[in-house]
Amino acid sequence: MIIRDIDTDADAAHEMFQSFEGMEGLPSAAPPVRKQLSIETFLRSVYPGVLVAITIGLAADWLSGHYKAPVMLFALLFGMTFHFLHEEGRCIPGIEFASKAVLRTGVALLGARITVEQIRDLGPVPIAMVVAGVTTTVLMGLLLSRLFGLSRSFGVLSGGSVGICGASAALAIASVLPKTKESERDVILAVVVVTGLSTIAMILYPMFVTAIGLDNQRAGLFLGGTIHDVAQVVGAGYTISQKTGDIATYVKLLRVAMLLPVVGTIALVLARSGASGGKAKVPLPWFLFAFAALVAINSLGVLPKPVTDAANDVSRWCLVVAIAALGMKTSFKSLIAAGWRPVVTMVLETAWIAGLVLSVVEFAT
């Protein structure tokens, strides 16, 4: 698990489809042997990128304190100026590690400041909103892919990544789809475009919810229900307030929890139609279970205040560092190079789920 957290999402897609040539009657290359890294080797591989992310996070925190501006936004923008470090070189494993493992740790620790009572106060609306948003966005992806002459697989990939949890959802869904000549390209396109759009949403959506006058609770419902990746939801939510960030994180994790039933449903439909792409390998979202466990423990009142304060501080710094790393991964050049049809498809999916969630927030809460 940790080893995979130092690979890029594009590498993961390439590895997923490495045996494709054999399916076409060509000799398939032997899969590369993934060596078990020693702790020392692992630390040496990740420390340059993690050190850069920490440095950017410290700079962002200093500026945030002096200029009273959101630390997450500073971390993202500063990280984007150092994107060249993610193009090649020794920093790539550390940047990937910070944007994945460090992020998940920070999200899990957020559970130490949320209680079941706070979640219960939100009512059943977030659950119904998430189910409707994910389901209809996947269906919208299928419709738009047909209208724009794209493959049905790309429609499912794009709809799932926009509706659930970004690049992670695209890779999980791809593991059960039939393999075609365009499969790897479709996955990489979905990963590139959804990451770029999610970054844009992280910057624009907090300004949007402030402009239309949403309170902290409704702003959290909107941000958690619309932004694609977990990292950007956290960054956008805590840009507004702690309450908004907490609610946005909870709603987003509801969407992450939809990954397993959605992938399972796709696999079942394909199996019945005889077009199954193989056995699903869906990664269990361990940070989701850790978050839920900490919420349950904190709700019992057994965690002393020094422990919850320490967990909050560690969580905050993990998230700042992860957002800085995410900025370094963001490439708008790759987004433009993807072509207009995949980009327009996913922009319209993004607009669909944003409109649906905003309607729920305005009229059902």
- Single-letter code of the amino acid located at 13: A
Residue type at 106? Answer: G
CA distance 75 to 93: 19
Task: Count Cβ atoms within 10 A of the Cβ of residue 148 and give its class: 0-12 exposed, 13-18 middle, 19 or more buried.
Answer: middle
Q: Using CA atoms, how far apart are residues 105 and 344, in angstroms rounded to an integer?
A: 33
How confident is the prediction along the chain (365 residues), in pLDDT tens digits per residue? Answer: 555 666 676 666 666 655 444 444 444 445 555 556 678 888 888 999 999 999 999 999 999 888 877 787 788 889 888 988 988 788 999 998 988 888 888 888 888 877 888 788 888 989 999 999 999 999 999 999 999 988 888 999 999 999 998 877 887 788 778 777 777 778 878 877 888 888 899 989 999 999 999 999 999 999 999 999 888 898 899 889 989 999 999 999 889 888 878 888 888 887 777 655 555 455 556 777 888 888 889 888 888 888 888 988 898 899 889 888 888 887 777 767 667 888 899 999 999 999 999 999 998 87
CA distance 160 to 134: 7
Number of domains in the chain: 1
Q: What pLDDT score does 51 carry?
A: 95
3-state helix, strand, coil in the chain (%, to 5): 80, 0, 20
Prediction pTM value: 0.74
Compute φ and ψ for 316, nearest 5 degrees: -60, -45
User: Half-sphere exposure of 148 toward its Cβ, with a 13 Å CA cutoff?
Assistant: 21
DSSP for residue 158: H
Cβ–Cβ < 8 Å for 106, 234:
yes
State the Cα torsion 333-184-269-25 to the nearest 10°.
160
Q: What is the CA radius of gyration of the chain?
A: 20
Q: CA nearest 320: which of 220, 231, 198, 223?
A: 231
DSSP-derived letter for residue 282 is: P
Which structural domain range is residue 344 located in?
4-363
Helices (H) and strands (E) counted in the chain, each on its own, are 19, 0
Phi, psi of 312 (to 5 degrees): -65, -40
CA-nearest of 95, 157, 159, 136 to 328 is 95
Q: 165 exposed, middle or buried (CB, 10 Å; 0-12, 13-18, 19+)?
A: buried
Can you tell me the distance from the alpha carbon of 182 to that of 161, in angstroms, rounded to the nearest whole number? 17
SS3 223: helix
